[in-house]
Structure 1
Amino acid sequence: MTHFGKTTLTYAEQGKRRITPELVAAYERHLGTGILDPIANLEHVGRGDVDRRSFIRTAAYTAGLGALALAGGDDLARLAAHTDTSATGATTIEALRRMTDSMIAVDETLGGGVGRTAVAEFLATDVAAVLRGRFISEQVRADAFSAAAEVAYLAGWKAHDAGLDGLAQRYYLSALDLTRESGDAGHEAFVLRILALQGCDVGQKTYSVRLAEASRDRARQARLDPDTEALFYLVVARCQAETGEHAAAARTIARAPSLNAEVSEQFPRWAAQWGPHKGPVLRQSSKTFTAMNDTAEAASFLTEVTGIWDPAGNARIWALSMAELGHAQWRNADPAAATSTWNTALPVLDQISSDRTRKQAAKIRHTLRTA
């Protein structure tokens, strides 16, 4: 239809070749300018993942897709009217959420490599079927899309943990579409936040600061409690620090509502699923100071956060934080403390199915061998 060759299209879609205005025009001419509707998008990505389709599984992370997340929700294609004969109620949404909680618990304990395609299958079949049904009220419909976004977020997180960042990015973008359909500004902000952080994690920082600022601005519109709002200030600070804007990062941290380590019960569900309150705030604080080359301050925050994470229930993030604490101690010229920290972390890192834990374990052993 486009008259471009298959190889050209393949490389463009995988992020391996520059996308020209002519190619964009050809796609828009044949496919329209609207973004895929959220349900079709999650089915497309999830089904491609389950079926091990190379166009999804080997997709590259691209800065251009990060920019897509900055498009306004009003630009998204609207869903077609539901026509199924059965109506979805609150009990179905609660069942969906309980399933999600169970899968997150497995992920946090055993790593993203365990049950990853099961989550993709759940997303592409059961979750999509719920979204295509009718709802007994607008509130139930909103809750359904928010619950679906949690599953898409989890699928993205598991792909990221397995080292499949192009695939993870596409799951996150699907989650963003779903949060916009739900109308939950706070949840939308939370997904924008992970897109910003992913750009930093994979060294593709072109849009990270803008995504982080969009995340914070959306969170402000949601009128969240100060403790939750701190999450979004910290993502801005970290992205600024990662892109060399150290002075701006310091100012952002100073304006953050709260950085103390007190545990609060105020976190919304979409944030509370990922560990005890304050854990993510303190961890991102440590990463911000690491990027600013302030390893003493980074070690201080990591010491706090490793005391918050549950080594059993949050094994992966606890072990990763312990590994990072050891590196901070090592850079602070305290090899004895670093070695002790790593000796505690390594057995846990080795037993988790995660590309990130494998890399951390390898980094620790390399540091010790070359000391």
Structure 2
Amino acid sequence: MDPSRRSVLGAGLFSVALTVPDWQDVVGRLEEVKKNPRTRIGQSEVNAVRSMTERLSDLDDDFGGRYARPMAAAFLVNTVGPYLNAEASSETRDSMLSAAAFLCYLTGWMAVDEGAHGRAQQYYVKALQLSGAGRDHHTYCHVLRGMSVQAANLGHGTPAARLANAAAESAPESTPRMRAFISGQQAHAYALANEKTNALNSLREAERAVNQAESQPGTFGGFSSATLAYSTAEVRYALGDVKGSVESLRDHFLLRDSTDSKRSEIKFSALLAQRQLEIGHLEAACATWGFVLDEYPNIHSGRIDEHVKKIAPLLRPYRSNSTAREVYERSREVAAI
């Protein structure tokens, strides 16, 4: 079965009116499934799904969602689906539902990176349902936060704030790093919704939480000082402070470490170049775009594709400058490949 076919999850379009189930509507519930009495699973199968999810996440980070999502979707359909139908103890079943929920969320995240936003929303809603059925409050909140990121990146500030607030309101007792993870997203969403006071208050809460965090960022849901600098850049930009956003993005790159993905490095570099150009730093923007074009052939990401397509139109007015003209021509060649 081809997991990318519409019969699995249709692509569709992003919907700001998407119905998001509340925790109480999904906790412990799932449509009755037909059990396969010939198959029984245990903790080893749960561990296998979790390990595969981590590996798929690494592939997504390094090569992009267009590369990794077909593998994730195939694993969901061909392996995880039958596991959910298998006989299991109550504890194992909840654990498998939780593992499936997070894999479904990750697959939605990959679909966002492809630019398949309607498909991503459907994966996210299924992840909410699975996490509720498995009584996994942490993943439920994580998915809501991811849905807010998607809405924010598409410029829908009010829905993004609603989803980020839902994540915060439904969060169980959490660590400082998890509070920062949610507060940072609330700050960006509020800024896009023109709620400056709430945006700045949420950003300060994220900063306090990062300073209180003692554990190292995990594979999923990590929020570090570098992430805080990026969130600050997004808040500043949304509030009209382009120069401040450039400064915060520079801080982000100074704070990055080996846990940060190659894709985010390319994406944030593209944002930096666009904003450097906005404040009149043409040579700096061209240098930053040069790095983006160097790395672009190694990534399979719809989001990065869109950033690269913007380079030539943005540089067209500056072709009298030899450096700008060189990057302009190069971007046109790369984008055409």
Per the TM superposition, whether the score is higher than 0.5 is yes
User: Is this contact kept in 2: 1:259–1:281, CA < 8 A?
Assistant: no
User: Is this contact kept in 2: 1:209–1:240, CA < 8 A?
Assistant: yes
Match of 2:309 in 1: 362
Give identity over the alignment, percent.
25
d(CA) in 2 for partners of 1:169, 1:338: 34
Match of 1:133 in 2: 86
Q: 1:190 aligns with which of 142, 149, 165?
A: 142
Q: 1:209 to 1:233 in 2, by over 3 A?
A: same
How far is the alpha carbon of 1:323 from its aligned partner? 1.4
User: Is this contact kept in 2: 1:225–1:266, CA < 8 A?
Assistant: no
Match of 1:122 in 2: 75
Match of 1:332 in 2: 279
The aligned amino acid for 1:293 is: G
Q: 1:280 to 1:145 in 2, by over 3 A?
A: farther
Q: 1:280 to 1:169 in 2, by over 3 A?
A: farther
Q: After superposition, what is the alpha-carbon deviation per residue over 1:226-246, rounded to whole angstroms, capped at 9, x for unaligned?
A: 122111111111111111112
d(CA) in 1 for partners of 2:160, 2:306: 23
Q: After superposition, what is the alpha-carbon deviation per residue over 1:159-186, rounded to whole angstroms, capped at 9, x for unaligned?
A: 1111111111111111111222222222
Match of 2:194 in 1: 244
d(CA) in 1 for partners of 2:46, 2:14: 32
Match of 1:23 in 2: none
Match of 1:226 in 2: 176
d(CA) in 2 for partners of 1:70, 1:118: 27
Q: 1:105 to 1:232 in 2, by over 3 A?
A: same
d(CA) in 1 for partners of 2:126, 2:268: 28
d(CA) in 1 for partners of 2:286, 2:21: 43
User: Is this contact kept in 2: 1:113–1:161, CA < 8 A?
Assistant: yes
Q: After superposition, what is the alpha-carbon deviation per residue over 1:184-218, rounded to whole angstroms, capped at 9, x for unaligned?
A: 22221110011112122224445322211011122
104-113 or 256-265: bigger deviation: 256-265
Match of 2:328 in 1: none
How far is the alpha carbon of 1:348 from its aligned partner? 1.1
Is 1:298–2:245 an aligned residue pair?
yes
Q: 1:106 to 1:185 in 2, by over 3 A?
A: same
Structure 2 counterpart SS, 1:258? helix
Match of 1:51 in 2: 5
Q: 2:22 aligns with which of 71, 92, 98?
A: 71
d(CA) in 1 for partners of 2:192, 2:62: 29
How far is the alpha carbon of 1:70 from its aligned partner? 4.8
Q: After superposition, what is the alpha-carbon deviation per residue over 1:280-313, rounded to whole angstroms, capped at 9, x for unaligned?
A: 4433332222111122332233223334546897
How far is the alpha carbon of 1:329 from its aligned partner? 2.5
The aligned amino acid for 1:248 is: N
The aligned amino acid for 1:106 is: L
Match of 2:109 in 1: 157
How far is the alpha carbon of 1:56 from its aligned partner? 4.3
Match of 1:111 in 2: 64
Is 1:89–2:42 an aligned residue pair?
yes
Match of 2:124 in 1: 172
User: Is this contact kept in 2: 1:265–1:277, CA < 8 A?
Assistant: no
Is 1:142–2:94 an aligned residue pair?
yes
How far is the alpha carbon of 1:362 from its aligned partner? 1.9
Q: 1:293 to 1:310 in 2, by over 3 A?
A: same
d(CA) in 1 for partners of 2:75, 2:277: 43
How far is the alpha carbon of 1:146 from its aligned partner? 1.9
The aligned amino acid for 2:125 is: L
d(CA) in 1 for partners of 2:251, 2:141: 26
Q: 1:200 aligns with which of 152, 166, 169?
A: 152
Q: After superposition, what is the alpha-carbon deviation per residue over 1:242-277, rounded to whole angstroms, capped at 9, x for unaligned?
A: 1111222112222335375899644455424xxx74
Is 1:289–2:240 an aligned residue pair?
no
The aligned amino acid for 2:79 is: D
Q: 1:253 to 1:93 in 2, by over 3 A?
A: same
The aligned amino acid for 2:46 is: I
d(CA) in 2 for partners of 1:287, 1:312: 21
TM-score (norm. length: structure 1) = 0.76
d(CA) in 1 for partners of 2:42, 2:88: 6
Q: 1:229 to 1:95 in 2, by over 3 A?
A: same
User: Is this contact kept in 2: 1:111–1:316, CA < 8 A?
Assistant: yes
d(CA) in 2 for partners of 1:262, 1:57: 42
Match of 1:271 in 2: 221
User: Is this contact kept in 2: 1:259–1:282, CA < 8 A?
Assistant: no
d(CA) in 2 for partners of 1:230, 1:194: 14
* Runs (5+) with no aligned partner, structure 1: 1-46
